[in-house]
């Protein structure tokens, strides 16, 4: 330097830089866990769901523990002389159905179908929706136009109808797509994922549109990062919180969707039990055999409620503006 290096004083009276270091350094996960634990209602939902998952995993064990027959064991003696199923008793806590199968046992096993269908379809919907949304929001232009219009069409399409159509088309023989989508649970999962992913894609796209304008995206580009790197290392970490919230909010929808498909007879294949299918079976003679519809119905309502409570709690807990 030709001139000696003298300090620049913009404001001579200024003191040293004040450190506004944050409170205690907690990781976002810790912070989030603390907030969630303080939210009693959401926590209750979480406990219920954990128990439900355990119930699904250990269904055979539970059935043995209670000493009740398996879900598909037909017992003609449990029907009365006219062939009408009997109600709750000490032997069959929740009564039996028309074929003499234990309703309690079927409800326990039904949780497997509900959770499997809902969680797997949510996983696929979120994965697909995140990728589509990130690509549309990041690249904008004609790519965005094509993807967004397609999503609009999919959102406008009556998803239950799509489900029934696809499910019945794939429910015969070897299924569709050369046996890739087999009848039964696989069809249900594919249908639900297809119906749910446009919601996720749309939300992700909106978030990415605003994220991509942040200077750290430009900084990443100016360092020479590839688009893929920018998308996955800079944008995706900022999407984790909203994605978690929306996943928990679509899980209950997907549970209901599975129940609807099974209710309509295009879901899981008998004799596998599913809450929706049990309700469907019972809908013809609800007047006499109320227990056959009531118990799977209660299970369904409680499960959906629990997931919704968790979703609401997560939304609050992950809101960076909240400071509980």
Partner 1 sequence: MTADRQTPLIEVRDLVKHFPIRSGFLDRGKGGVVHAVDGVSFDVMQGETLGLVGESGCGKSTTARLITRLLDPTSGSIRFDGRDIAQLSRKELKPLRRDMQMIFQDPYSSLNPRKTVGSIISEPFLIHGMEKDDAKRRKLVEELMDQVGLNPEHYNRRPHEFSGGQRQRIGVARAIALKPKVVVADEPVSALDVSIQAQILNLLRELQRDLGLTIIFIAHDLSVVRHMCDRIAVMYLGKIVELADADALYGHPRHPYTGALLSSVPVPDPVLARERKQTVLGGDVPSPANPPKACRFHTRCPKAVDGTCDVDEPQLEVKEGGNIAACHFPLADAEVAAAVPTSEV
Whole-number minimum distance, CB 118 to partner 1, in Å?
28
Question: In Å, how far are 91, 146, 246, 273, 288 from 88, measured between CA atoms?
Answer: 8, 56, 39, 19, 13
Angle at which helix 103-139 crosses helix 141-156, to 10 degrees, equals 150
Q: Verify binding: residue 161, partner 1, rule CB under 8 A.
A: no
> How far is 163 from 158, CA to CA, in rounded Å?
9
> How far is 18 from 22, CA to CA, in rounded Å?
12
Q: Verify binding: residue 25, partner 1, rule CB under 8 A.
A: yes
Whole-number minimum distance, CB 219 to partner 1, in Å?
5
Which of these ranges, 59-67, 200-208, 212-220, 245-253, lies near partner 1 under the rule CB under 8 A? 212-220
> How far is 193 from 26, CA to CA, in rounded Å?
35
Whole-number minimum distance, CB 45 to partner 1, in Å?
27
> How far is 200 from 162, CA to CA, in rounded Å?
18
CA angle 51, 280, 50 (to 5 degrees): 10
Whole-number minimum distance, CB 208 to partner 1, in Å?
14
Backbone angles phi, psi at 287, to 5 degrees: -55, -45
Q: Verify binding: residue 229, partner 1, rule CB under 8 A.
A: yes
Tell me whether the omega of the peptide bond preceding residue 271 falls within 30 degrees of 0, making it cis.
yes
Q: Which of 186, 198, 206, 63 is nearest to 138 (CA)?
A: 206
Which of these ranges, 18-26, 122-130, 132-140, 171-179, lies near partner 1 under the rule CB under 8 A? 18-26
Pick the binder of partner 1 from 237, 287, 321, 323 (CB under 8 A).
237
Backbone CA torsion sign across 104, 109, 110, 112: positive
Residues 81-140 that bind partner 1 (CB under 8 A): none
What three-state secondary structure class fits 176?
strand
Pick the binder of partner 1 from 90, 142, 173, 222 (CB under 8 A).
222
Burial label, 280 (beta-carbon count in 10 A; 0-12, 13-18, 19+)? buried
Nearer to partner 1, 19 or 80 (CB): 19
Q: Verify binding: residue 34, partner 1, rule CB under 8 A.
A: no
Q: Verify binding: residue 22, partner 1, rule CB under 8 A.
A: yes
Count of residues interacting with partner 1 (CB under 8 A): 35
Whole-number minimum distance, CB 154 to partner 1, in Å?
22
Whole-number minimum distance, CB 25 to partner 1, in Å?
6
Pick the binder of partner 1 from 11, 80, 288, 323 (CB under 8 A).
11
What three-state secondary structure class fits 23?
coil
Q: Verify binding: residue 29, partner 1, rule CB under 8 A.
A: no
Q: Verify binding: residue 219, partner 1, rule CB under 8 A.
A: yes
Pick the binder of partner 1 from 53, 225, 244, 264 (CB under 8 A).
225
Q: Are 264 and 187 in contact (CB under 8 A)?
A: no
Nearer to partner 1, 115 or 239 (CB): 239
CB burial readout 228-237, b (16+ within 10 A) else e: eebbeebbbe
Which of these ranges, 33-41, 94-102, 196-204, 216-224, lies near partner 1 under the rule CB under 8 A? 216-224
Q: Verify binding: residue 141, partner 1, rule CB under 8 A.
A: no
Which letter does DSSP use for residue 278 in this model?
A: H
Footprint on this chain of partner 1 (rule: CB under 8 A): 1-2, 5-11, 14-15, 17-22, 25, 214-216, 218-225, 229, 233-234, 237-238, 240
């Amino acid at each position: 330097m030709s001139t000696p290096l003298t300090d620049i004083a913009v404001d001579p009276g200024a003191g040293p830089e004040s450190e506004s270091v944050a409170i205690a350094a907690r990781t976002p996960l810790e912070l989030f866990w603390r907030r969630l634990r303080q939210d009693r209602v959401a926590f209750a939902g979480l406990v219920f769901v954990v128990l439900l998952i355990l119930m699904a995993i250990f269904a055979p064990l539970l059935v043995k523990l209670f000493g009740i027959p398996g879900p598909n064991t037909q017992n003609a003696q449990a029907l009365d002389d006219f062939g009408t199923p009997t109600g709750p008793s000490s032997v069959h806590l929740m009564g039996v159905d028309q074929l003499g199968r234990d309703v309690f046992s079927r409800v326990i096993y039904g949780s497997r179908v509900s959770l499997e269908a809902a969680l797997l379809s949510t996983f696929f919907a979120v994965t697909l929706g995140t990728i589509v949304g990130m690509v549309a929001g990041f690249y904008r232009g004609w790519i965005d136009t094509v993807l967004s219009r397609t999503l609009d069409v999919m959102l406008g399409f009556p998803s239950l109808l799509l489900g029934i159509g696809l499910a019945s088309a794939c429910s015969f023989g070897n299924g569709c797509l050369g046996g890739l989508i087999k009848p039964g649970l696989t069809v249900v999962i594919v249908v639900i994922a297809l119906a749910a992913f446009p919601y996720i894609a749309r939300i992700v796209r909106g978030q990415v549109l605003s994220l991509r304008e942040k200077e750290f995206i430009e900084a990443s580009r100016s360092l020479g990062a590839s688009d893929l790197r920018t998308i996955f290392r800079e944008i995706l970490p900022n999407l984790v919180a909203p994605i978690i919230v929306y996943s928990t909010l679509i899980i209950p929808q997907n549970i209901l969707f599975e129940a609807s498909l099974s209710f309509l007879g295009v879901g899981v294949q008998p004799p596998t039990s599913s809450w929706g299918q049990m309700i469907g079976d019972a809908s013809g003679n609800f007047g006499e055999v109320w227990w056959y519809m009531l118990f799977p119905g209660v299970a369904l309502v409680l499960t959906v409620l629990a997931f919704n409570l968790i979703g609401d709690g997560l939304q609050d807990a992950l809101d960076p503006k909240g400071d509980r």
